[in-house]
Amino acid sequence: MLSPVILVPAILNGLLTGAVYGLVALGLTLIYGVLHIINFAHGALLTAAMFAAFFAHRLLALDPYLAAIVLTPLFFALGYCLQRFVIGPAAHGEDRNILLVTLGLAVVIENLLLYAFGADTRTLNLDYAFDIVDLGIAFLALPRVIGFGVVLVVALVLWLILSLTDTGKAIRAVAKEKLGAELSGIDVGHIYAVTFGLGTACLAIAACLLIPTYYVNPHVGNAFVLIAFTIVVLGGMGSVALVGGLFIGVVESLCGLYLGESLGQIGIFVMFILVLLFRPSGLFGERA
């Protein structure tokens, strides 16, 4: 059971899946790190993005990798508007309210998708979906290898944005010290919205990377986001979020190997619960 012939491909595939987990987590931790909220709507937004990518191909014959060029700014705008015009105003700044509003949004988005498209699971049948990259010790699906590469590029781009652009610096300022940033003239509401938009844009890219090899239904986003939540709780920010994603990808791959799909899912949840219960103390207080 532990032979390298089985293990190595499992680990490598875990890394490839894990890269996408990392991207989803990156979006979530960005929002968490700056707005200090746990975005319960992250999963539903990923699902929406996957549906968008799916229909971009079905209706417009847009290859997912091309669709990303259109969907990324679209979802950035969606995230911006959601934070600026819905979440921010509705919550009146109270943590308990933000919780409920993002939950409400999640319910609305997910069930709108259910109502509009039904509960059926769909997949795209792309020609290159089954192309293989032959590494000798393992065969890896081409789309997933591409996905891995894109995630690294996106992470780099995000890092550049945050370090070099004025907006990026403003984001970091608000994350560190909101009051001080406000007093320096930074429009915190705008920065919050930009950050939320960036987080949602990450989801659009992740969706386009997933759709060649993954199925889509109204609940698909939740599994990915749960992993992202686990990383947030573990305190992973930025590059740590990526590494966390890779790690969990490998763990999940191995669990799925030995436990089968459903129990593999339970494994993720149980790990999530354990992380929540035994997380390093002193890093997180009541504020999510």
Partner 1 sequence: MRGPSIAHIVLVIAVLATVPLLTASNAVLNFLIVALLIALVGQGWNVLGGYGGQYSFGHAAFFGTGAYVTAILQMRYGINAWPAFALGIASGALVGAAIGALTFRSGLKGSYFALVTLAFAEVLRILASVAPITGAGVGILITLDLRPQAFQFQSRAPFYWIVLALLAASLVIVRLIEQSRFGAWLVAVRENEDAAKAVGVDTVRVKLVAMTISAAITAAGGGFYVQYFLYIDSGIAYGPWISIEALLAPIVGGIGTVFGPLIGAVVVKTLGELTKLITGDAPGLDLVIYGGVLVLIVAFAPHGITSLLAALRIRFARLRPSASEGTHV
Residue 166 lies near partner 1 (rule: CB under 8 A): no
Of 226, 228, 231, 234, the residue at the interface with partner 1 (CB under 8 A) is 226
Q: How far is the CB of 32 from partner 1 (least distance, A)?
A: 9
Cβ-count burial 106-142 (b if 16+ within 10 Å, e if not): beebbeebeeeeeeeebebeeeeeeeeeeeeebebbe
Question: Closer CB to partner 1, residue 70 or residue 284?
Answer: 284
DSSP secondary structure letters along 218-239: TTHHHHHHHHHHHHHHTT--TH
Residue 78 lies near partner 1 (rule: CB under 8 A): no
Residue of 58, 54, 20, 25 whose CA lies nearest to 42: 25
Residue 3 lies near partner 1 (rule: CB under 8 A): no
What's the rounded Cα separation, in Å, for the pair 250 and 256? 10
Of 11, 106, 171, 231, the residue at the interface with partner 1 (CB under 8 A) is 106
Of 111, 165, 184, 239, the residue at the interface with partner 1 (CB under 8 A) is 111
Q: How far is the CB of 232 from partner 1 (least distance, A)?
A: 9
Q: How far is the CB of 162 from partner 1 (least distance, A)?
A: 24
Of 86, 146, 188, 254, the residue at the interface with partner 1 (CB under 8 A) is 86
Written as one letter, the residue type at 119 is A
Q: Are 186 and 178 in contact (CB under 8 A)?
A: no
Residue 259 lies near partner 1 (rule: CB under 8 A): no
**Per CB under 8 A, which region of 49-57, 64-72, 167-175, 269-277 contacts partner 1?**
269-277
Written as one letter, the residue type at 62 is L
Residue 266 lies near partner 1 (rule: CB under 8 A): yes
Tokens of 133: 């990259």
Residue 93 lies near partner 1 (rule: CB under 8 A): no
Of 2, 61, 119, 283, the residue at the interface with partner 1 (CB under 8 A) is 119
Residue 120 lies near partner 1 (rule: CB under 8 A): no
Q: How far is the CB of 284 from partner 1 (least distance, A)?
A: 7
Question: Closer CB to partner 1, residue 97 or residue 239?
Answer: 97
Question: Closer CB to partner 1, residue 110 or residue 124?
Answer: 110
Other CB atoms within 10 Å distance of the CB of residue 185 = 7
Touching partner 1, residues 13-52 (CB under 8 A): 37-38, 40
Q: Are 205 and 72 in contact (CB under 8 A)?
A: yes
Residue 105 lies near partner 1 (rule: CB under 8 A): yes
Residue 103 lies near partner 1 (rule: CB under 8 A): yes
Provide CB contacts within 8 A for 217, sequence distance 6+: 119, 120, 121, 122
Q: Which residues bind partner 1 (CB under 8 A)?
A: 37-38, 40, 86, 89-92, 94-97, 99-101, 103-115, 118-119, 218, 226, 229, 233, 262-263, 265-266, 269-270, 272-273, 276-278, 281, 284, 286-288
